Amino acid sequence: MPEGHSIHRVARVHRRWLVGRHFTADSPQGRPEVARGLSGRVLLGVDAHGKHLFHTFEGDVRLHIHLGLFGRIRHFRGDAPVPSTACRLRLVSDGATLQLSGPSACELLSLEEEAALRARLGEDPLRAEASLDRAYARLTRGRVPLAQALLDQGRIAGVGNIVRAEALFVAGLPPLMPVCELEREAFDRLWGAMRALLQDGVRDGLIVTPGAPPRPSPGRKRAERFCVYSRAGLPCPRCGGKVTGQSLAARTLYFCATCQGVDRMHGPRRKRAVTLAP
């Protein structure tokens, strides 16, 4: 599933390339409801929140897209190929065609429905108005492992398996600690790491974690490079110990036990106050 930086990158492309265009729409897959609502309208704005994409068309018509595990958006300039029968939505304008297939959500929402959906999402590190106080309060509820809580989109929006593994490593935090024990200073460090990785992803289209080892194939200049993600059994680039990979809530979690203090995570619990932002 695309992580938040990929969706924000799509939103940026759509704002630059598609906003202001007049579109006709159809659904080769045979689901015409959304297409009927969009056809003949001008795209006015595009926004992303976490892994969710929002398009606003004239007449206050709002399109919500969530790609899920199998969704794909293809863009074409000039002539586009004939879409497959799996294409859920096709938007066509002079010089620009968008084809969407396999999304988990492709729906029209009212203003109130969109607001309700956004309210259920956690704070997005890529959004300028994100509140660290609200993010901290949501993230640290309960005693689930920190790494599991980070993938809960109602706590922090846009973080996926790559960003959680790399950000926890950069911040030096034990992924299995109860989330309620996360101190505010440690959270701020973690938030900064997540935000930096996601911002790099938006800018470059890929993530290269600071300190990540070079790839075995030096000829591949544009390739993602990680410190712990998908490197189970390989040496940690910081301490040389082996990176651990283990299952957590049906996902594989990667970490360095030494650098991330896993052996110290059962130390005395310190009390802390949680203050909800107004």
> Active-site residues: which are they?
2-3, 51, 251
β-bridge mates for residue 65, sequence order: 53, 106
Query: What is the C-alpha separation between 120 and 72, in angstroms, rounded?
Result: 24
Question: What's at 92, amino acid-wise?
Answer: V
Query: What residues have CB less than 8 Å from 165, skipping those under 6 apart?
Result: 147, 175, 226, 228, 229, 253, 254, 255
Place of tokens 């194939």: 217
